[in-house]
Amino acid sequence: MTSDLRQRKKAARIALPTAVLLLIGSAVVVQSSAPAAAAETTLRAAAAKAGLFFGVAASPNRLYPIVGQEFSQLTPENDMKPDRIATSSGGLQNTSGADTLVNHAQSNNMLVRGHTLVWHSQAGALQGASQATLNTFIGNAINRWGSRIAYWDVVNEALEDNNTGRRRNQWPHTMNRDANGDGDFFDAGDTDVIRDSFIRAKQVVQAGGLTTKLCINDYDVDGLTVQGGTPNRKADALYDIVRNYRQYIDCVGFQAHFNDNPNSIITNDLQANIQRFADLGVEVHITELDIDDDLSNNDIGTGQAENYRKVVRACLNVAQCTGITVWGISDSESWRSSERGLLFTGGNGSYQKKAAYHAVLDELNKGRNPTAPPTTPPVTPTVPPTTPPVDPTTPPPPTTPPNPTTGCSATVSLDSWTGGFVATVRVTAGSAPISGWSVQLTLPSGASVTNTWNANRTGTSGTVRFSNVSYNGSVNAGQYTEFGFQGVGTATGLTPVCTAS
Ligand code: G3I
């Protein structure tokens, strides 16, 4: 887990009700919950308390006070797109709008999401450019703002419409080549603009020692299914991309432009879909949220405010869902004004809160609820991995036998690719509850851990020890918790040994 994510989680934990010791006379009474904390009155404050950011898409001519008051993250709606800032050779031009937005964000303690580097639309002078030119642009844009940009949308909207699960057939994806004809672009001999763009972006970030995280962003990827229960093939395709390129991709953006298109509705498996991406070890963000309030048959839910609640709750229920961004402030200033999809009415700096605003604020104030069951159980992805993560002849993951009265066991599941892996470790309590745990395992020579989430870690190679963090040490009898780590090299034959305390 990244340190800033850890800090946000820590902040969220501090906000949780805690057992309070009250001294009444000489008796000690344990009160199970603290009095309800005062509700926050802005979106950004309520979100911060819950451990996530709440952002907005903005333009330089609309930087009214509300931007810094209500929101803690800013995405340039149009001012960082290639048609604004790229020259045909991958240089930069006309960056003043983007600079204004970054400066405004910084002076209001807001994170910035850079939007966007590689996109078939609004490509401007880059339209038709080679990968080499795209790489030049990627380097120039990332270096211009450096770590002032917390998240960059490196690749935007790479997947085709209509739930086909295919890549787009427009530039820059026309550069892709499936060398061995196996139907994907993931193999070493293939050409993939997504992979090559992320590799370039990662190089730039690492060379500059930047904290910027690299994201892939798309729409109609929000649920596991689309209308009628059909699998969401676009979401599955995105999942496959993230899994295959996990070593370069830090975060996933679900645009979440919800409307009554069959592929754009809010489904009950939104949370489960967020969770499966989170389980890959990436941060998940809702990046361009707006919800149609002009529905012909109201088939995406029971009204806009309730729909907003559902989306915010789905994010809050997944710890790695670390931010929500609405695509504008008010309906009249939205790219889809007729849908009245945002949280405010009014315009030009004078805004009125809608019912949807109050619903979002209320939901944020309830905070995260990690014990809430998902609305549907997590579903195994329908798209098979192109490189099987585990050899079918490999025996099942080793398990340490649980102590019959206390103790714990641990199993590891691996998602591997050439040169790297993500391990998910499940810690299961025995027949008695445990209040803490540690897991020790030995990595093969050449393998090392680069990133850990939901656990403290000692060591990076050889024998590595993981222990619970403050919020996942207590596990009821027979229940489990999970942590994960990412690494380089090959991690086979891991034998985790679990010790409970
Ligand atoms: O600024 C010019 C103005 O001078 C001119 O008079 C006017 C005439 O049409 O156009 C103005 O530019 C428009 C620009 O928005 C600023 O308002 C463009 O025509 C218009 O095409 C552009 O639309 C943007 C759209 O992306 C373009 O694809 C929207 O504002 C913006 O909200 C939207 O954002 C995208 C995300 O980047 C990616 N995900 C989907 C999302 C919605 O389409």
Q: What is the pLDDT of residue 492?
A: 85
Across the chain, which has 501 residues, the per-10-residue mean pLDDT values are: 41 33 28 62 98 98 98 98 98 98 98 98 98 98 98 98 98 98 96 98 98 98 96 98 97 96 95 97 98 65 86 97 98 93 97 97 90 42 36 39 62 76 82 90 89 80 88 76 79 90 86
Give the residue among 274, 270, 256 at the shortest CA–CA distance from 336. 256
Question: Hey, what amino acid is at 107?
Answer: S
Query: Which pLDDT score is estimated for 419?
Result: 75
Does ligand 1 lie within 6 Å of residue 121's CB atom? yes
CA of 242 from ligand 1 middle (Å) equals 28
Atom of ligand 1 nearest to the CA of 334: 32
**With a 6 A CB cut-off, is 317 part of the ligand 1 pocket?**
no
Query: Is 288 annotated in the active site?
Result: yes
Question: Is the pTM above the cut of 0.75?
Answer: no
Angle 83-87-89 from CA coordinates, rounded to 5°? 135
Q: Whose CA is nearest to atom 32 of ligand 1?
A: 335
The four Cα atoms 474, 478, 481, 487 give a dihedral, to 10 degrees, of 130
Burial of 458: CB neighbours in 10 Å, binned 0-12, 13-18, 19+: exposed
Distance, CA 78 to ligand 1 centroid (Å)? Answer: 7
Q: What's the CA dihedral at 117, 122, 126, 129 to 10 degrees?
A: 90
Q: Which of 283, 288, 339, 363 is catalytic?
A: 288
Verify cis geometry, omega within 30 degrees of 0, for the bond prior to 387. no
Alpha carbons 13 and 497: distance in angstroms, whole number: 28
Structure-token pair, residue 365? 């104030």
State whether the beta carbon of 255 lies less than 6 angstroms from ligand 1. Answer: yes
For a substitution probing ligand 1, which of 335, 337, 339 has the most ligand atoms within 8 Å of its CB?
335
